[in-house]
Chain A
Amino acid sequence: MSVVEGADECSPEAEERALLARVCAGDRTAFESLYRCYRPRLLRFLARTLWSPAAAEEVLNDTMLVVWRRADTFNGSCKLSTWIFAIAYRTALKARRILDDPSDEVVQDEADESTAGPEGVVIAAQQAAAVRRMLEGLPAEQRAVVELTYFQDFSYREIAAVLCCPVDTVKTRMFHARRKLRLLLDAQKKEIA
């Protein structure tokens, strides 16, 4: 898929795992390679499924810091991308939960100071607006499934692992999302016509 720029240069699983092994040893060059490999995909995923682009950049940083600190906990039972996307998804959900906490004290163990700015993300306004109109008709968890399937090439099992839900739920969400999107797309076409 042409959209996921950088994903193509992204190394295959074995090379990614080798990078992660070096990250475990505190190798920042390896970390940078991993970051560059995942940045476009994660940004896209986060911006499209959960948050505004500005927030995506920050959740990306939070995610990669977790990868840096927890690299040694990756046990190889799934693909590295599944592991990293699952961290991204959880990090995003965590940011969302923060306001449910009635106290002002926020338990914080992974995210920290952020330096990335919203200006880092520029938008092709017209197209993005059209896509937004389509996607905003869907609940966030359906958007996540759509994005991971169509634009990140995840299998339904991998998506289930990322979203931490049963495989059947993934299929059902996709089914409903497709039906809804289809209607929206037809409506949009009619509008243009």
Chain B
Amino acid sequence: MNNSIVQLDGPAQHEAVQRLLPWHLNGTLGSVERVRVEKHLAECPLCQSDLEEQRELMQALDAPHAAGSAEQGFAGLMRRLDEDEQSAAGPRTRAAGVWSSPHFSRWFAVAAVAQCAAIALLAVVLHWPVEGDGPYRTLSAAMPVRTSGDQLVVAFHDDASLGEMRRALSAVGGRIVDGPTADGVLVIAVPPGSAGPAVTALRAQLAVRLAESLVLARPR
């Protein structure tokens, strides 16, 4: 226990406490820091109101996260485990794993989106709003996509391979800017003026389930 730390005062103390407040709130500070924060809090109205604001913030962010059933989830996990142990018992030629699985298109989509760092990570959907009937409405409602060029919505068949998807997108100079929806619909950007030919080219690809030009009035 170091008293000189606890006694630290002035703006430096205030700033240090500000940076600790979130963990004071969740009760995980060690005893030295806790004492330090409490002592400062008692005499700093700014930090007091800051703490109040954080409580409010927590409440605002606290949307329920309803997950599917644990039974189903665990059963799925066990299937994977069994398949895995079976294949481990057989010849050790495990292929591309999840990336070649039928579920991969969704995976790809998600990975692709996240990979488009700035835009996608900022705009990426934590919870897609499920209002509206179809993917288009959902997409239009969901995102202010900040990018130049024309935009399309694209979805791949479930059995499309990573290579097919990559080739399809690169053939039209497409870049994923957002998505996917729960049903795997992505928004891609193509070079300005090329939406029409890109849609035609994409539809010609076996891997592509859906390709449409995205011409929607976006709420500003």
Contacts and interface: CB of A to CB of B under 8 A. Distances in A.
Interface of A: 1-3, 6, 28, 32, 35-36, 39-40, 43-44, 47-55, 57-58, 60-62, 64-65, 68, 95-100, 104-106, 108, 111-116, 118-132, 134-140, 143, 146, 149-151, 153-156, 158, 171-172, 174-175, 178, 181-182, 185, 188
Interface in B106-131: 106-108, 110-112, 114-115, 121-131
A149 B53 contact: no
A43 B65 contact: yes
Most buried by A among B69, B80, B83, B108: B80
Contact of A122 (B66, B76, B101): B66
Contacts of A35: 70, 73-74, 77
B133 interface: no
Given A118-B182, A174-B19, A175-B19, A123 B128 contact: yes
Given A55-B110, A104-B163, A115-B80, A181 B57 contact: yes
Given A52-B128, A105-B96, A1 B80 contact: no
B172 interface: no
B176 to A, nearest CB: 9
Contact of A119 (B20, B64, B68, B127): B68
Interface residues of B, number: 70
Given A55-B107, A104-B163, A112 B98 contact: yes
A96 B76 contact: no
A51 B128 CA distance: 11
B220 interface: no
Closest 3 CB pairs of A and B: A120-B68, A128-B127, A155-B28
A128 to B, nearest CB: 3
Contacts, number: 248
Contacts of B62: 1-3, 131, 150-151
Interface in B31-71: 53-54, 56-58, 60-70
A103 B50 CA distance: 50
Nearest to A56: B67
Interface of B: 18-20, 22-23, 25-29, 53-54, 56-58, 60-70, 72-74, 76-81, 83-84, 94, 96-99, 101, 103, 106-108, 110-112, 114-115, 121-131, 161-163, 166, 180, 182-183
Contacts of B115: 96-100
Most buried by A among B19, B63, B161, B182: B63
Nearest to B30: A155
Contact of A58 (B65, B69, B103): B103
B126 A135 contact: yes
B73 A48 contact: no
Contact of A52 (B18, B54, B76, B180): B180
Contacts of B28: 153-156, 158
Contacts of A149: 22-23, 26
Given A131-B62, A151-B61, 14 more contacts: A51-B114, A54-B180, A54-B182, A61-B80, A65-B77, A98-B111, A100-B115, A106-B96, A108-B99, A122-B68, A126-B131, A127-B63, A153-B26, A155-B29
Contacts of B76: 61, 114-116
Contacts of A124: 63-64, 66
B83 A112 contact: yes
A40 B74 CA distance: 12
A123 B114 CA distance: 21
A175 B27 CA distance: 17
